[in-house]
Amino acid sequence: MPARRILACAAAAALVSAGCTNTESSVNARPHTGTATASPVNGVQQVTITVGADDRFHPSTIVVHRGKVEIVLKHDADGAPHDWSLTGFPGDYVPTTTGGQTRTASFMAPSPGKYQFVCTIHTKLGMTGTLVVEP
């Protein structure tokens, strides 16, 4: 095989393998930030989560105790709608919220541990967070 053909094959192989190294889009690489602890409001643990154009929950980690929890989902931007769902607990859901809207939902916190919550519309974009339930 001529040297020029070997070099062309090697260059093509390098390009193909280099293209496979980054499987996450820049949207998925955005950081998840912030932690908030629910505050008691009229005997219910309440936490506000803000969503917007960046397809992230703010904060992305919320801490609650066992008992009744109210999630307030506030959409503070124009653009795509968002919702909030606790993975594995279909009843723990805040309905679709569009720009400028605020929606709430209440549920009973599960057993102590860590649970994932998602925007069911934008899960593939990495719009997820963590619910920490303390004893």
pLDDT in tens, 30-61: 677 889 999 999 999 999 999 999 999 999 99
Q: According to the model, what pLDDT value does residue 130 have?
A: 98
Sequence spans of domains, the chain:
27-134
Residue 97's CB is within 10 A of a number of other CB atoms, namely 21
Q: According to the model, what pLDDT value does residue 26 have?
A: 54
CATH classification for the domain delimited by 27-134, as one of 2.60.40.420, 1.10.3720.10, 3.40.190.10, 3.40.640.10? 2.60.40.420
pLDDT band at residue 3, thresholds of 50, 70 and 90?
low
Q: Is the pTM of this model over 0.75?
A: yes
Q: Let me know if 117 is exposed, middle or buried by CB neighbors in 10 A (0-12, 13-18, 19+).
A: buried
Instruction: Report the candidate in 98, 101, 103, 93 with the shortest Cα–Cα distance to residue 82.
Output: 98
Q: Is 91 in contact with 85 (CB distance < 8 Å)?
A: no
What pLDDT digit, counting tens, does each position of 68-97 carry?
A: 999 999 999 988 999 999 999 999 999 999
